[in-house]
Amino acid sequence: MSGIGRPLLELDHVERMFGGSWLGRLGGDNVVRAVDDVTLSIAAGEAFGIVGESGSGKTTVGRMIVRLLDPTAGAIRFEGQDITRLRGGALLAYRRSVQMVFQNPYLSLNPRRRVRDMLLDAYRIHHLASGRDAEERVAALMEMVGLRRTMLDRYPHEFSSGQRQRIGIARALSVEPRLIVADEPVSALDVSVQAQVLNLLRGLQEELGLTVVFISHDLRAVSFLCSRVAVLYLGQVMEVAPRRALVERAAHPYTQALMGSMPSLAPGSGITREVIRGDIADQQPPPGGCVFAPRCELRRRLGDPDRCLTERPWPRELSEGHAVACHFADAEARPDTDARPEATGAAAGPTTPTTPTMVGISDPTRVPAVTSTGATT
Ligand SMILES: Nc1ncnc2c1ncn2[C@@H]1O[C@H](COP(=O)(O)OP(=O)(O)OP(=O)(O)O)[C@@H](O)[C@H]1O
Ligand code: SF4
Ligand SMILES: [Mg+2]
């Protein structure tokens, strides 16, 4: 996909299925296709967001990037090298280069170990520093994430949830990674501290030139932190765009519905507010068609064109770096386009404005006000 610098990380037609026997998978029996032919490129130093509802495959993508899971098809390349083939020392080096920050900082920290020892581990395991040098680095890390060095001798339960997430971030940074995958790093935190941790992440990303893959169901948090965003739905990429293009000209009906649920993003953004029907889990997508079809209001307005049910829409570029997986994403914006349903033999439906109702989308009132500084929480 164009619009970025030299990629650090590439997902090339990546698929991950769960369940079923090997033979059953061929026939599609009892299989969850958690990630379904995802292709993405992420540049060095970029903050890249992956957003979508629960069950859209975000965590599965993150776990494959850090090699906690292998894809069932496709390739993941880091600096051009297929990571699924790494073994021994090369795998250890990759594991150091790529770190994950988890949703629940309490579960990801060993309750019986002092913070100092947890942070020193990384230096020991990867032979990065020892003795006084390691002690100094650990103290500097604490300050980098907005904690005091005097807190190093505490246990995880002696911290607030926001402070624990700062420790999780410090631990990820301790091995001087090139890439951090942050999976819902603020969604388990109180609304009042979410913004502080987001600010910390953004400051660190800019200061250290880190590449960050930020995974969230919260489009507003993703828009705050990331310069480009991919929208996932049932394991497929619906839209990829620079943040600004996404906020101002979201083109996929699903992205528009997500946007419409975010009060501070939708008004005046120039995007259409779409309706979304039902829940991600309760509607079977048509085999071979568009996975969003059962919930798509644009399809209904266009008179239910057959193409939505019979042909998977692959991401196509509407403008540089802005790709959309919808046959009709530009049908209403450009009435003369070939993508109009008439061109495919389907009748156009009424185009009356839609009511901004949202069903099955996360509660927009939980979105944090991203304004405060990264001070200690
Ligand atoms: N180990 C597993 N075994 C079977 N199915 C799985 C497994 N892990 C994930 N899945 C399924 O894959 C799909 C995607 O899950 P995933 O956790 O990646 O979604 P998500 O977007 O991260 O959701 P959430 O926002 O709730 O964290 C879901 O349908 C889930 O049930
Ligand atoms: S291809 Fe059809 S069903 Fe899918 S998002 Fe576009 S209009 Fe909706
Ligand atoms: Mg998840």
| pTM, two decimal places | 0.85
Ligand number, closest to the Cα atom of 304: 2
> First vs last Cα of the chain: how many Å apart?
39
Residue 2 domain-assigned (yes or no):
no
Q: What is the mean pLDDT of residues 261-276?
A: 55
Q: What is the mean pLDDT of residues 337-343?
A: 37
Structure tokens, 343: 């061109």
207-259, pLDDT tens digit by residue? 999 999 999 999 989 999 999 999 999 999 999 999 999 999 999 999 999 88
| Residue 26: per-residue pLDDT | 61
Assign residue 45 the CATH number of its domain.
3.40.50.300
| Residue 306: per-residue pLDDT | 96
Strand, coil or helix: 140: helix
- Is a pLDDT exceeding 90 seen at residue 364? no
| Residue 105: per-residue pLDDT | 76
- Confidence band for 338, pLDDT divided at 50, 70 and 90: very low
Domain that holds residue 280: 250-344
Structure tokens, 8: 């650090």
pLDDT over 70 percentage in the chain = 78
Instruction: Determine if ligand 1 sits within 6 Å of the CB of residue 30.
Output: no
Q: Report helix angle 161-173 to 115-125, nearest 10.
A: 20
Instruction: Determine if ligand 1 sits within 6 Å of the CB of residue 155.
Output: no
If one counts every other C-beta atom within 10 angstroms of the C-beta of residue 256, the result is 25
Residue 244 domain-assigned (yes or no):
no
Task: State CA 338 to chain mean position distance.
Answer: 32
According to DSSP, the β-strands at 211-216 and 179-183 are parallel
- Confidence band for 281, pLDDT divided at 50, 70 and 90: low
Q: What is the mean pLDDT of residues 186-199?
A: 89
Strand, coil or helix: 355: coil
Residue 78 domain-assigned (yes or no):
yes
Domain count, the chain: 2
Report helix, strand and coil shares of the chain as percent, to nearest 5. 35, 20, 45
Nearest CA to ligand 2 atom 6: 326
| 134 and 216 assigned to the same domain | yes
Round to whole Å and give the CA distance between 6 and 11.
14
- Ligand 3 centre to CA of 63 (Å) is 10
| 218 and 269 assigned to the same domain | no
Q: What distances in angstroms separate CA 10 from CA 39, 75, 134, 318, one per listed residue?
A: 7, 8, 33, 21
Instruction: Determine if ligand 1 sits within 6 Å of the CB of residue 54.
Output: yes
- Confidence band for 167, pLDDT divided at 50, 70 and 90: very high
Structure tokens, 196: 């502080």
| 160 and 307 assigned to the same domain | no
Nearest CA to ligand 1 atom 1: 18
| Strand order through the sheet with 81-82 | 32-43, 7-18, 73-78, 81-82
Residue 360 domain-assigned (yes or no):
no
Domain end point (choices 198, 233, 268): 233
| Residue 376: per-residue pLDDT | 39
| 228 and 261 assigned to the same domain | no
- Of residues 374 and 312, which shows the higher confidence score? 312
- Is a pLDDT exceeding 80 seen at residue 342? no
| Residue 21: per-residue pLDDT | 64
Q: What is the DSSP letter of 358?
A: B
| 191 and 44 assigned to the same domain | yes
CA-nearest of 158, 162, 166 to 142 is 166
Query: Which residues approach ligand 2 with their CB closer than 6 A?
Result: 253, 290, 292-293, 296, 298-299, 308, 313, 326-328
Residue with tokens 């993703």: 222
| 212 and 269 assigned to the same domain | no
110-157, pLDDT tens digit by residue? 999 999 999 999 888 888 899 999 999 999 999 999 999 999 999 999
- Is a pLDDT exceeding 50 seen at residue 316? yes
Say if CB 39 and CB 232 are below 8 A apart.
no
Residue with tokens 């990264």: 374
Structure tokens, 191: 């609304």
Task: State CA 235 to chain mean position distance.
Answer: 12
| 282 and 164 assigned to the same domain | no
| 288 and 198 assigned to the same domain | no
| Residue 297: per-residue pLDDT | 93
- Ligand 3 centre to CA of 66 (Å) is 14
Round to whole Å and give the CA distance between 60 and 70.
10
| 219 and 255 assigned to the same domain | no
Domain end point (choices 207, 233, 259): 233
| Residue 356: per-residue pLDDT | 26
Domain end point (choices 233, 267, 295): 233
| Residue 273: per-residue pLDDT | 52
Q: What is the DSSP letter of 357?
A: -
User: How high does pLDDT run on average in the chain?
Assistant: 83
CA-nearest of 308, 179, 237 to 35 is 237
Say if CB 173 and CB 200 are below 8 A apart.
no
Round to whole Å and give the CA distance between 269 and 245.
10
Instruction: Determine if ligand 1 sits within 6 Å of the CB of residue 32.
Output: yes
| Residue 27: per-residue pLDDT | 60
- Ligand 1 centre to CA of 313 (Å) is 23
CA-nearest of 44, 88, 40 to 65 is 40
Nearest CA to ligand 1 atom 24: 54
- Ligand 2 centre to CA of 299 (Å) is 5
- Of residues 338 and 319, which shows the higher confidence score? 319
| 187 and 260 assigned to the same domain | no
- Ligand 1 centre to CA of 292 (Å) is 18
| 115 and 44 assigned to the same domain | yes
Instruction: Determine if ligand 1 sits within 6 Å of the CB of residue 305.
Output: no
- Confidence band for 5, pLDDT divided at 50, 70 and 90: low
| Residue 17: per-residue pLDDT | 95
Give, for ligand 1, the residue of 16, 51, 59 to mutate: max count of ligand atoms closer than 8 Å to Cβ.
59
- Is a pLDDT exceeding 80 seen at residue 336? no
- Is a pLDDT exceeding 80 seen at residue 360? no
| 265 and 228 assigned to the same domain | no
